[in-house]
Amino acid sequence: MKSPASNSFKSLKSDIWICLKLTIAFGVLFIIINQQFTLKGAGYTFLISAMYSFILGLGNGIINDYLNTKWNWVTQTNQRVLSGVIATIIYTVIAVLLIHYVQYIVMFGYDPANFFKGYLVWVHLFAIIISLGIATFFHARGFMVNWKAAMAQENTQQQFVAKTETAKFETLKNQLDPHFLFNSLNVLTSLIGENPAQAEKFTTKLSKVYRYVLEQRNKDLTPLAEELKFAKAYMELLSMRFEDAVEFNIPSEVSSDSLKIVPLSLQLLLENAVKHNVVSSAKPLKISITEENGFLKVTNNVNPKEAIGKSTKVGLQNIADRYGLITDRSVEITNNKRTFTVSLPLLTQINSIMRTSEDYENSKYVRAVERVEKMKEFYQNLVTYLVMIPVFIFINLRFVPQFHWFWFPIFGWGIGVLFHGLEAYNYSVFMGKDWESKKIKELMDNDKNNY
């Protein structure tokens, strides 16, 4: 394990290398823009670029790293933000003025008495705002890195529950597809008049399918024998609907009663096969389920529908994610254009880390992820605001100095950024901080007491 000092040195070395590349890149850019092709002009340009890159960039980076050692972004967010704002503003203002003194007074020979007058005031303001925008970006980046690290260290139990709930939702959404139910009821309607006995059989199997869904929706794993029995009932239901357009082969026995599988995964795979392939008497859909080398293989022939479009593979990804959280063995998918095969690992026990959703408040994890996304959007908005406002000021004062229209975007856009920040940090102007979370908890407690 590397020591903090080693990591700090490595980070500093990386920052220096980045500043050096920025010095060269901006130096070359401004040499071309300003046509400073003399040795003296090029030297001045590279020196100024180096001062901005190293004094401002590297300096703010060192301050950022130091503050990270004092306050944690996740557990001490308010202290870290406040210290970052104060330290960054003070350092940036001093650094910009120092750089401009060297640039304009020492290098270009301006009168020191005019350092805070006229044109130079706007130059100072422009540079300070740009620098604060860049510094904000680095602080936002530091926040995101630390937050992601904290999320990565979250208990594996909560991660599993969050993924499982998503997978269960997608599975139930596919299974209780109104389109599927509508087609099944149409088949049932036609059978009632033509073949009442077959209609009764169809109704029985349909009820078994939906009863199994309700029974399995809160389970992490289910016995393979039960899942195969359900798959057989489901395929018989499809056979009644499509008649001879569907052929299936499902084993009637399993090699061991201890084998388990993710519930409803077979239904999702079978439904996908029907959804993405042509099902007709001329081109029957052939589905085979076999147990081989510790895997349950679901294979179907490939006759893609032309109008279905590109598959999003959301269902397959959910199954793969759930397996990835409970076993090192991964789901295998092969497609040779003739057959499509999904191999599901067969498990013999549930890992001790697995729990049901009642054991963990997985909603907190989901809400935390959503909040991070809002914060990321806010920081992007803030950086854009701090970068573009000086550009507006420059354009206004350069081309239309008699009318200061730049105040409109400063205040209009600024108010939007302010409210965006309040939303990202879950703070209501009228209700106070965390009002939404407190109100939700209050209502949940009231419902619990009433119950």
Residues 422/374, Cβ–Cβ less than 8 Å: no
What sign results for the dihedral spanned by CA atoms 392, 394, 400, 405? positive
What's the mean pLDDT in 22-33? Answer: 83
Tally of CB atoms within 10 A around 284: 18
* HSE-up of residue 18 (Cα within 13 Å, Cβ side): 13
Higher pLDDT, 260 or 118: 260
The amino acid occupying position 69 is T
Higher pLDDT, 194 or 60: 60
- The DSSP bridge partners found for residue 432 are 428
Please list the alpha-helical segments (H only) found in 51-118: 59-70, 77-100
What's the mean pLDDT in 126-138? Answer: 79
Please list the alpha-helical segments (H only) found in 217-262: 224-242
Range from 112-126, 294-308, 363-377 carrying the lowest mean pLDDT:
363-377
d(CA 370, CA 152): 15
d(CA 234, CA 202): 11
Angle between helix 314-326 and 156-175 (nearest 10): 150
On the question of pLDDT at 360 being above 50, the answer is no
Model pLDDT, residue 291: 92
Range from 174-183, 223-232, 256-265, 362-371 carrying the lowest mean pLDDT:
174-183
Tally of CB atoms within 10 A around 317: 14
Tally of CB atoms within 10 A around 183: 14
- The dihedral region occupied by 144, where left means phi > 0, alpha psi between -120 and 50, and beta the remainder, is alpha
Model pLDDT, residue 219: 75
DSSP state of 283: S
Residues 158/360, Cβ–Cβ less than 8 Å: yes
pLDDT band at 343 (very low <50, low <70, confident <90, very high): very high
Model pLDDT, residue 451: 43
Q: Which DSSP helix (H) or strand (E) runs through 114?
A: none
DSSP state of 346: P
On the question of pLDDT at 429 being above 50, the answer is no
pLDDT above 90 coverage of the chain, percent: 7
pLDDT band at 90 (very low <50, low <70, confident <90, very high): very high
What's the mean pLDDT in 383-408? Answer: 77
Cα(first)–Cα(last) distance of the chain, in Å? 51
Q: Which two tokens stand for residue 286?
A: 């052939």
Q: Which DSSP helix (H) or strand (E) runs through 151?
A: helix 119-152
How does pLDDT run across 192-246, given as a tens digit for each residue?
777 777 778 778 877 877 787 777 766 778 899 988 988 888 888 888 878 888 8
d(CA 411, CA 294): 65
Residue located via tokens 């109008």: 307
Q: Which residues contact 341 (CB under 8 A, 6 or more apart)?
A: 297, 298, 299, 332, 333, 334, 335
Residues 422/375, Cβ–Cβ less than 8 Å: no
On the question of pLDDT at 117 being above 70, the answer is yes
What's the mean pLDDT in 268-286? Answer: 86
Q: Determine the Cα angle at 325 with ends 323 and 329, to 5°.
A: 50
Average model confidence (pLDDT) for the chain?
76
Q: Which DSSP helix (H) or strand (E) runs through 121?
A: helix 119-152
pLDDT band at 3 (very low <50, low <70, confident <90, very high): very low
Range from 166-180, 227-241, 251-265 carrying the lowest mean pLDDT:
166-180
Q: Which two tokens stand for residue 114?
A: 């005019």
Model pLDDT, residue 299: 94
What percent of the chain is helix, strand and coil (3-state, nearest 5)? Answer: 70, 10, 20
Range from 127-141, 277-291, 294-308, 428-442 carrying the lowest mean pLDDT:
428-442
What sign results for the dihedral spanned by CA atoms 163, 165, 170, 172? positive
pLDDT above 70 coverage of the chain, percent: 74
Nearest to 77 by CA among 152, 144, 165: 144
Model pLDDT, residue 97: 92
Residues 253/214, Cβ–Cβ less than 8 Å: no
Residues 302/350, Cβ–Cβ less than 8 Å: no
Exposed, middle or buried, 52 (CB in 10 Å: 0-12/13-18/19+)? buried
Model pLDDT, residue 94: 92
Model pLDDT, residue 308: 55
On the question of pLDDT at 182 being above 70, the answer is no
pLDDT band at 361 (very low <50, low <70, confident <90, very high): very low
Q: Which DSSP helix (H) or strand (E) runs through 285?
A: strand 285-292
